[in-house]
Structure 1
């Protein structure tokens, strides 16, 4: 893949550059602030943009705002945001457009190279990838809301949907839950039906279900 890396830490940028190169990817641009991120992505049109949430000049949500601006200017952009901490409002803004091709991971996740690279592939392919810690916090918020649109889901179905939100395939969900692939597929079909998602492309319905889940918790 062709990737733009955006982080104000030179060391982290260089580390990501090496990691991605070893995995066979090409870093087409490496930048350190929000405006440069937007410019680089719109110029190079990469397969994926890897963006830190907190960058100059504000060191608050500069990277997130850059990611949102990129998606507005180029709806097909694939963006994976990295953050040091769980910021649920950031997740809400990032997924608000209601489309796939986005992810939100904590920087600690990068240390698990295989999972990190798998998340990159998932987002680049138009799916979603959400850090498990963020998923748990969103699930807690959703469960506490009276108008929770996921209220009709059983605890088992919520568990399946939470694992989907992490970017896991049906096979990976089955392995994590120690159930058969057929059981996961049945749970998935029930989730789609309860959320009112009509038969369509399977990946598309997965993305819509995950996005509805994220909006419920954020």
Structure 2
């Protein structure tokens, strides 16, 4: 049986109640919505979920702002559709002028139903332009499975095997998984280097900070 494609939305909003509301609205309309409280958390979630749409408040209460986050993430994924949220008209003007091409703006005051949010997301998706062909680049992490990349993300965060095991299973299973990651990355042969440090550096070079 063919699995239906579920579109993923990364919701970045520093107000917890609004963030939960937006995620619930989208989930009830068939989207897979994941929330983040700020740009730093959003960067990690982006690497883990590979979203189709970024729905972000412009003012996140800290830097980077939502507009700066959108510029950074669309640089990594030009196909990413963007919807900006704000209660301030001047912020909307700045987003329209400086934000990614095709971005859609929604006033928070207009978010009275799921229809408003879904229509904005659909409009942004229709505006998103597929990335132009570029020379193929082989990622050093291409040999890893999605689960192995998820485990590597925790290693890059500085988690111990025991800490990862509390999230991902038994310590023995985690040790085997990490050993396979090191093997696929070709990091187990040189005793003079620390494979955990090198694997973390490779992840950070590919996806950026995990903090």
Q: Which bracket does the TM-score occupy, shorter chain normalised?
A: 0.5 to 0.7
Instruction: Give the 3 Å change call, closer, same or farther, for CA 113–42 of structure 1 in structure 2.
Output: same
Tell whether the 8 Å contact from 2:80 to 2:128 is kept in structure 1 after alignment.
no
| Regions of 4+ moved over 4 Å | none
Q: Which runs of 5+ in 1 are unaligned?
A: 129-218
How many residue pairs end up in the alignment?
121
Cross-structure match for 1:92: 97
Give the helix-richer structure, 1 or 2. Answer: 1
Cross-structure match for 1:126: 127
Greater Rg over alpha carbons, structure: 2
- Residue in structure 1 matching 2:26, options 4, 20, 28: 20
Cross-structure match for 2:40: 35
Cross-structure match for 2:50: 45
Q: Secondary structure at the match of 2:99?
A: helix
Q: CA deviation at 1:91?
A: 1.9
Tell me, in whole angstroms, the C-alpha distance in 2 between the residues paired with 1:111 and 1:42.
Answer: 31
Tell whether the 8 Å contact from 2:10 to 2:35 is kept in structure 1 after alignment.
yes
Tell me, in whole angstroms, the C-alpha distance in 2 between the residues paired with 1:119 and 1:126.
Answer: 11
Tell me, in whole angstroms, the C-alpha distance in 2 between the residues paired with 1:116 and 1:65.
Answer: 21
Q: Which runs of 5+ in 2 are unaligned?
A: 1-6, 130-211
Tell me, in whole angstroms, the C-alpha distance in 2 between the residues paired with 1:49 and 1:90.
Answer: 14
- Residue in structure 1 matching 2:71, options 68, 71, 85: 68
TM-score normalised per structure 2: 0.52
TM-score normalised per structure 1: 0.50
Cross-structure match for 2:8: 2
Tell me, in whole angstroms, the C-alpha distance in 1 between the residues paired with 2:26 and 2:58.
Answer: 19
Tell me, in whole angstroms, the C-alpha distance in 1 between the residues paired with 2:12 and 2:56.
Answer: 5
Q: Secondary structure at the match of 1:8?
A: coil
Tell whether the 8 Å contact from 2:84 to 2:95 is kept in structure 1 after alignment.
no
Q: CA deviation at 1:127?
A: 5.4
Aligned-residue Cα RMSD (Å) equals 2.0
Tell me, in whole angstroms, the C-alpha distance in 2 between the residues paired with 1:115 and 1:127.
Answer: 19
Tell me, in whole angstroms, the C-alpha distance in 1 between the residues paired with 2:47 and 2:96.
Answer: 22
Tell me, in whole angstroms, the C-alpha distance in 2 between the residues paired with 1:5 and 1:80.
Answer: 9
